[in-house]
Amino acid sequence: MYHGLTILGIIPARGGSKGVPGKNIRNINGKPLIYYTIEAAKNSGIIDEIVVSTDSMEIAEISKKFGANVPFMRPSELATDEAKSMDVIIHCMNWYLNNRNNRFDLVMLLQPTSPLRNSDDIVKAVDIFINKKANAVISVTEFEHSPFWINNLPSDGKMDNFVNRSFRNENRQDRGKFYILNGAIYLAKWEYLMKYRDWFYSNSYAYIMPKERSIDIDTEFDFKVAESLISFSLRGDDDRCYR
């Protein structure tokens, strides 16, 4: 319990993955990827229940080995490429209601594909939630490119109207900073999430994370970048980069 609030931390980790096969338990610097998220959640000291939602017995056993709870197996219909993460979250919440008669004050989604998110990030996100009297807090990071320089390409690759003419002569600084969701932390009130099934419905705030902790593994390239960053942090005395 943190400031009188109970927190359910949900780590979604299905067995199938097309971008990086077996990524949730693939070793990164000698530890399975999911280890880093479980460890960060444990080290935060503020999450009352850390639960892994998975359809894989192998992921379940590894998760339990590192200190997470796996009280149920995720239904197969919620373990497909088409399954929505919100449905996975609501399923987990309903399981606690129906099987443990337990509801928490807050729900935090911690995706294992964000191994650089650390325990301090988790605590700071909750602090923002409390200080802002928010319904939800979502982690973001600064986006280095202006979205005004991004567009679709036609089949012939022609770029005559790729950039809106009104934006071409403007300095980048004139438009301020842009931010992008980094996938590391999603936090919301239990009742708010049950009612709206939306992180952004009302009174939601950003927790801004640095780029070096905002890697979201979706490809082999992402995996190699994360591995390099974690390896670099382990060469020093301070391992807070991933804890």
CATH classification of the domain holding 213: 3.90.550.10
**pLDDT one-digit tens code per residue, 192-239:** 999 999 999 999 999 999 999 999 999 999 999 999 998 877 655 444
Q: Report yes or no on 168 lying in a domain.
A: no
Beta-strand relationship, 106-109 and 49-53: unpaired
Q: Report yes or no on 242 lying in a domain.
A: no
Q: Report yes or no on 199 lying in a domain.
A: yes
**pLDDT one-digit tens code per residue, 107-140:** 999 999 999 999 999 999 999 999 999 999 999 9
Q: How many CA atoms lie within 13 A of 86 on its CB side?
A: 11
Question: 111: domain range?
Answer: 7-143+180-234
Q: Report yes or no on 243 lying in a domain.
A: no
Tokens of 15: 């067995």
Total number of domains constituting the chain:
1
Residue entry with tokens 């679709």: 152
**pLDDT one-digit tens code per residue, 173-189:** 666 789 999 999 999 99
Global model pTM greater than 0.85: yes
Residue entry with tokens 């009174």: 203
Q: Report yes or no on 131 lying in a domain.
A: yes
Chain-centre distance of CA 205, in angstroms?
A: 15
C-alpha R_g of the chain: 19
Q: Report yes or no on 107 lying in a domain.
A: yes
Q: Report yes or no on 214 lying in a domain.
A: yes
At 15, the amino acid letter reads: G
- Direct distance between the N- and C-terminal alpha carbons of the chain, in angstroms, rounded to an integer: 20
Q: Report yes or no on 153 lying in a domain.
A: no
